[in-house]
Amino acid sequence: MTDFGKQLSPTETPIPGLVYWDLPVHGDSRGWFKENWQREKMVALGLPDFAPVQNNISFNDAVGTTRGIHAEPWDKWVSVAAGRIFGAWVDLREGPSFGTVFTIELDPSRAIFVPRGVGNSYQTLEPDTAYTYLVNDHWSPSASYTFLNLSDETAAIDWPIPLDQVEISAKDLEHPRLADVTPMTPRKTLVLGAGGQLGRALRAEFAEAPEVEFATRDDLDLASAELATARRWRDYGTIINAAAYTAVDAAETPEGRQAAWAANVTGVAALARVAAANGITLVQVSSDYVFDGSSARPYTESDPVAPLGVYGQTKAAGDLAAATAPRHYIVRTSWVIGDGKNFVGTMASLAARGIDPKVVDDQIGRLTFTSDLARGIRHLIQADAPYGVYNLTGAGEPTSWADIARRVFELSGHDPARVTGVTTEEYFASASGPVAPRPRNSVLDLAKIQGSGFEPADASTSLGAYVSGSSDIWWG
């Protein structure tokens, strides 16, 4: 009999992510009513906002009908519309909980959230039982499925009615034992811009993760009209967009302006549409250039953007586009140094060649090394940090470009007094082409990402390791 009068409440199970829910059911002599799935209330209590796209019902007229154990590459919200079942779930995902079993009876007053890769099965305990499930993907012949035999000795499910006395499909009887099951792999991560400075750092950060894929523009064209079907996107859990147009001065030219808007806005908007449609987390790397640099304090994530030049305008517009994906991290950084041509490498080269440079001393910020940026991005994803905007740069005292140049000279065994500080206007006075305006204050407040449990490396310490060629810091 259906249990009336419960409060809506979730209960964890031994299988990570598998949560059963007590549902309020209201009844009288005419029958009963319940809210089988109520997004606002349930998400507030911890149900993943899993965005179902299909509702299925399995009707079973006889007691003892037994189905499963099937694991699909999507999430399910399972409940009973009529009757009663004994449900059994087995974790068939790759990882330490593989093979964990959970069983419980379900009637209309109880439902269960079944995450991707957890095997689902049941046995009817009453005639005319209707078993319902919401799923967040459409069935596809190209999808990867995993199955387990209902009578597997390792799982040792204690079926109320012995399996030799019930109705089971021939196909279910042929499923493998646990020792022969191919585990369901995690949803994949796709890194775009894999050939750039940050892309190479992300390759190193995720080198041991087989579920991470790397792509360049040649591999995936964000401008393609077929982007939405270019891959089976439901198999991906995260897209990290490390691709961008970053030539800030060239962006001030007619050709550069078009290229910057195409890469930094149109491409990001296309990714956001893919992410929103497929429940993917989008990680978008942004810039201090979204601010005009006029603040007397470090910029926080909630400060309004006010970009000065075309590059900054495209990055700010890209942030807005990325934020249309329900699951997004916008990671704002500054003064990036990695594997390739960069300011630190240039200063070290000038020092070695006996050239005494003039370097801007009225722009203030912190260096960010790509190894640290990649580490921080991984932290946000794996820690399930709240979605939103995060500042991520090196830590420590802000400094000027001229002071960094002097430090590079000193670290490489040369006289730092050879570096002469000049204003931005003086530095670009003899420029032959367009010059983009630069923010004078590029210091980003790090309190939010520190509050998430990530501690950025000290920029000065990282600089010392970089110049000395330390193996864990990219050398350009």
CATH of the domain at 116: 2.60.120.10
Residues 170, 210 within the same domain: no
For 321, phi then psi, to 5°, come to -65, -45
For residue 308, the enclosing domain spans: 188-467
Across 74-232, the runs of DSSP E, i.e. the strands, are: 76-82, 85-91, 101-106, 110-114, 118-124, 129-135, 146-147, 188-192, 212-215
Token pair recorded at residue 451: 């509050």
Cβ 467 vs Cβ 348: under 8 Å: yes
Token pair recorded at residue 196: 């750039």
CB atoms near residue 227 (< 10 Å): 17
Candidates 416, 308, 318; CA nearest to 361 is 416
Residue 474 lies in a domain: no
Beta bridge partners of 32: 27
Report the distance separating Cα 81 and Cα 444, nearest Å: 53
Q: Where in the sequence numbering do the catalytic residues fall?
A: 70, 133
Reply yes or no: is the peptide bond before residue 239 cis, omega within 30 of 0.
no
Residues 134, 235 within the same domain: no
Residues 209, 167 within the same domain: no
Walk along the chain (476 residues) and give the pLDDT tens digit of each residue: 566 778 999 999 999 999 999 999 998 888 889 999 999 999 999 999 998 999 999 999 999 999 999 999 999 999 999 999 999 999 999 999 999 999 999 999 999 999 999 999 999 999 999 999 999 998 888 888 999 999 999 999 999 999 999 989 999 999 999 999 999 999 999 999 999 999 999 999 999 999 999 999 889 999 899 999 999 999 999 999 999 999 999 999 999 999 999 999 999 999 999 999 999 999 999 999 999 999 999 999 999 999 999 999 999 999 999 999 999 999 999 999 998 889 999 999 999 999 999 999 999 999 999 999 999 999 999 999 999 999 999 999 999 999 999 999 999 999 999 999 999 999 999 888 899 999 999 999 999 999 999 999 999 999 999 998 743 433 33
Residues 160, 198 within the same domain: no
Report the distance separating Cα 345 and Cα 349, nearest Å: 6
The CATH number assigned to the domain holding 258 equals 3.40.50.720
Residues 137, 257 within the same domain: no
Residues 239, 268 within the same domain: yes
CB atoms near residue 354 (< 10 Å): 8
Domain finish residue from 122, 157, 180: 180
Residues 304, 228 within the same domain: yes
Residue 120 lies in a domain: yes
Domain finish residue from 146, 180, 214: 180
Domain finish residue from 180, 214, 231: 180
Beta bridge partners of 241: 192, 284
Residues 435, 397 within the same domain: yes
Token pair recorded at residue 413: 């065994």
Residue 476 lies in a domain: no
The distance from CA 198 to its chain's CA centroid, rounded to whole angstroms, is 16
Report the distance separating Cα 187 and Cα 275, nearest Å: 13
Residues 456, 332 within the same domain: yes
pTM of this structure: 0.89
Cβ 134 vs Cβ 52: under 8 Å: yes
Residue 26 lies in a domain: yes
For 268, phi then psi, to 5°, come to -65, -40
Residue whose tokens read 């979204």: 290
Specify the number of domains making up the chain. 2
Residues 260, 289 within the same domain: yes
Residue 3 lies in a domain: no
Tell me how long the chain is.
476
Residues 324, 456 within the same domain: yes
